[in-house]
Amino acid sequence: MAALLKTPLFAEHVALGGKIVPFAGYELPVQYPDGALKEYTAVREGEAGIFDITHMGQVRVTGVDSLKFLQCVTTNDVAALVDGQVQYSALLNAQGTFIDDITTYKINETAYYLCINAANRHKDVAHLQAQAANFDVVVSDESDATTLLALQGAKAQAALQDLVDTDLENIGYYKFAEVKVLGVAGIVSRTGYTGEDGFEIYIPNAIAVDVWKALLSHGAVPIGLAARDMLRTEMGYALYGHEISDEVTPVEAKLMWITKLGKDDFIGKAAVETRKAEGAQKRLIALKLTGRGIPREHYKVFVDGEESGEITSGMHSPLAGGGVALAYVKPEHVTEGQLSVEIRGKLVAAERTTTPFVRSNVRKV
Question: Helix or strand or coil: residue 299?
Answer: coil
1, pLDDT greater than 70:
no
| Domain boundaries of the chain, sorted by first residue | 1-279, 281-365
The closest of 199, 179, 204, 180 to 189, measured between CA atoms, is 199
At 363 the three-state DSSP class reads coil
Count of all residues that appear for the chain in the document: 365
Which CATH architecture best describes the domain 1-279?
2-Layer Sandwich (3.30)
Cα(88)–Cα(12) distance, integer angstroms: 31
159 neighbors 222 (Cβ within 8 angstroms): no
pTM confidence score: 0.96
Question: Is the domain defined by 281-365 classed in CATH 2.40.30.110?
Answer: yes
With a pLDDT cut of 70, the percent of the chain lying above it is: 100
Q: What is the pLDDT of residues 33-66, one digit of tens each?
A: 999 999 999 999 999 999 999 999 999 999 999 9
Q: For residue range 57-114, what is the model confidence (pLDDT) as tens digits?
A: 999 999 999 999 999 999 999 999 999 999 999 999 999 999 999 999 999 999 999 9
What are the tens digits of pLDDT across the range 130-165? 999 999 999 999 999 999 999 999 999 999 999 999
* Rounded Cα–Cα distance for residues 184 and 186 (Å): 6
pLDDT in tens, 292-344: 999 999 999 999 999 999 999 999 999 999 999 999 999 999 999 999 999 99
The answer to whether the 1-279 and 281-365 domains have the same CATH topology is no
Query: Residues with Cβ < 8 Å from 250, sequence gap 6 or more?
Result: 75, 90, 92, 96, 98, 256, 258, 259, 272
Start-end of H helices in the chain: 10-15, 36-44, 66-73, 121-132, 156-161, 208-217, 225-235, 269-278
CA–CA separation, 192 and 170 (whole Å):
17
- CA nearest neighbour of 284 among 257, 232, 322, 249: 249
Vertex 272 angle, CA 271 and 278, to 5°: 90
Mean pLDDT of the chain: 97
